[in-house]
Amino acid sequence: MKIRKIHNCTGHRAALYALAAGKDDRHVLTAGGDGWIVEWALDQPETGMLVASVESQVFSLCHLPGEARLVAGNMSGGIHWIDLAKPTETRNIQHHQKGVFDIAVCGDYVMTAGGEGAITRWDRESAKSLESLHLSNQSLRCIAVSAQNDLLAIGGSDHSIYILDAQTLEIRRHLKQAHHNSVFSLAFSPGGRYLWSGGRDAMLRIWDVENDFLPVKEVPAHLNTINHIVFSPDGQLAATASRDRTIRIWDTENADLLKVIETVRDGGHHNSANRLLWLPDVLLSCSDDRTMSVWAIEGS
């Protein structure tokens, strides 16, 4: 496997916490501590375009597929509904009591996870909150959606993973002590057979969805918190980003480690790698070092 750094995108004035797909496979969005939401064209990555700005740190970001609208979550619990055609008319709804740590699209709805331990379902068209479910007395950190199984997986700072019915929000399974510390990232494998989880304990764990979420493998994957997990579009590879500054590439069939992207050898991030996005031909990563890196991954 060969990994080549294509570009390092700079311009943000604070750490980057959010990375989202753009209007097509050649555009992406970043956001972070400076409150800026910036669009990058991968064919001309030297300069980003500021598309919106909010008055608080942005922790989470989601582009609504097929629309010129974004949803961003800030550090104080606000949800920003941003019309890219009219960015000055951004709606900021103060909803969660603490930070909004993740946002995900689930059919006609948008789901947000808050620091007070509640998950909220929003009507995607009207931007109105429909219902909230309080799952924990600690923060909810991440959301994963399985369209194949009609399930939501929610990770919390209480070390738990909650499996919900995506339609009714009924709790189907509560995986207590899923990690030894906060669960920071969840991702369903392509096809929905497995759920991968990563936490502050630096462990990568794999759960069998079809067998009552029994654990099938655990790997001491990093030296520090696993912040994010993504799968390649073809489903053959997975990537993890960590506070230890590295990005690690895994074979999805056996969860074998294939490659480590490091600071010195590969030109990796100088601080915590916080978020990943895998597009058809590149892997993107953003970091506390205020940059987004674009990686070409070749071979296996």
Whether 156 has a pLDDT exceeding 90, the answer reads: yes
Q: Are 269 and 283 in contact (CB under 8 A)?
A: no
Whether 287 has a pLDDT exceeding 80, the answer reads: yes
Mean pLDDT of 65-70: 94
CA torsion, ordered 30, 15, 241, 179, to nearest 10 deg: -110
| 257-267 pLDDT per residue, tens | 999 999 999 99
Q: Cβ of 138: how many Cβ atoms within 10 Å?
A: 15
Q: Are 292 and 19 in contact (CB under 8 A)?
A: yes
Determine the pLDDT at residue 68: 94
Determine the pLDDT at residue 300: 57
> What are the backbone angles phi and psi of residue 272, rounded to the nearest 5°?
-50, 130
Q: Where are the beta strands (DSSP E) in 15-139?
A: 16-21, 27-32, 36-41, 44-53, 58-63, 69-74, 78-83, 91-94, 100-106, 109-114, 118-123, 128-134
Rounded CA Rg of the chain: 18
10's tokens? 């700079």
Kindly list the structural domains of the chain, giving each domain's residue range(s) and its CATH number in brackets, ordered by start: 2-298 (2.130.10.10)
* Separation CA 115–CA 101 (nearest Å): 7
Determine the pLDDT at residue 91: 87
| 225-282 pLDDT per residue, tens | 999 999 999 999 999 999 999 999 999 999 999 999 999 999 999 999 999 999 999 9
Closest by CA position to 25, among listed 296, 292, 294, 278 = 278
* Separation CA 248–CA 48 (nearest Å): 26
Judge if pTM exceeds 0.85.
yes
Q: Cβ of 276: how many Cβ atoms within 10 Å?
A: 23
Determine the pLDDT at residue 166: 97
Residue type, 250: W
